[in-house]
Amino acid sequence: MRNIPSVRHFVVLAFTFTTTMLGAQLASAHGEATGIVLERHTLMTELRDANKIISAMARGKQTLERDELAMNAETMSKLASRMAGLFPDTTASRQGAGSSTRQTAWREFARFSSIADELTNQAAALADKADSATREQLADRARALGNACKQCHKSYRHKKKH
């Protein structure tokens, strides 16, 4: 049985607040990134962490806890809804130290924003279906989340240097 929505929302807000407050500590993990670039890195890290939990549950590699699944999907939806706002067309945003964003993100901002909207919508749909979806349906939704992430990274992110 799922928790009362207000409790779940409190947990999501507490998680988001805590991870945001840890942003300064994450700076060392993101090299020279500061300001808006560091905010993006932090948001992407939070998205990645929530997506890993969803993916593991959907694939049966982690126990399916529907409340936790819904909470992580809601977290992803809230974070993704903020994404486009973290890419203002400013010098600091475009050329800030530690940025891995390609310049095409700003030239194709409408498409970039639509991918962020798709991620927001896919995550919200997963949160809404977390109580009743079969594992196969969850896996399909988890793949859709991952595909939105991949589509954006393929088009708008420089490859990581390892």
The residue type found at 64 is L
Q: Is residue 85 part of a domain?
A: yes
Q: Report pLDDT for 135.
A: 86
Instruction: Write out the residue range of the structural domain in which residue 54 sits.
Output: 5-156
Q: Report pLDDT for 160.
A: 76
The span from the CA of 139 to the CA of 137, in Å, is 5
Structure token pair of residue 44: 């992407």
Q: Is residue 161 part of a domain?
A: no
The answer to pTM > 0.85 is no
- Tell me the residue length of the chain: 162
Q: Report pLDDT for 124.
A: 96
Q: Is residue 140 part of a domain?
A: yes
CATH of the domain at 63: 1.20.120.10
Q: Is residue 66 part of a domain?
A: yes
pLDDT in tens, the chain (162 residues): 455 556 665 555 555 555 555 444 444 445 688 999 999 999 999 999 999 999 999 989 999 999 999 999 999 999 999 999 999 999 999 999 999 999 999 999 999 999 999 999 999 999 999 999 888 899 999 999 999 999 999 999 998 765
Structure token pair of residue 132: 């009743």
Q: Is residue 162 part of a domain?
A: no
Tally of structural domains, the chain? 1
Q: Report pLDDT for 16.
A: 54
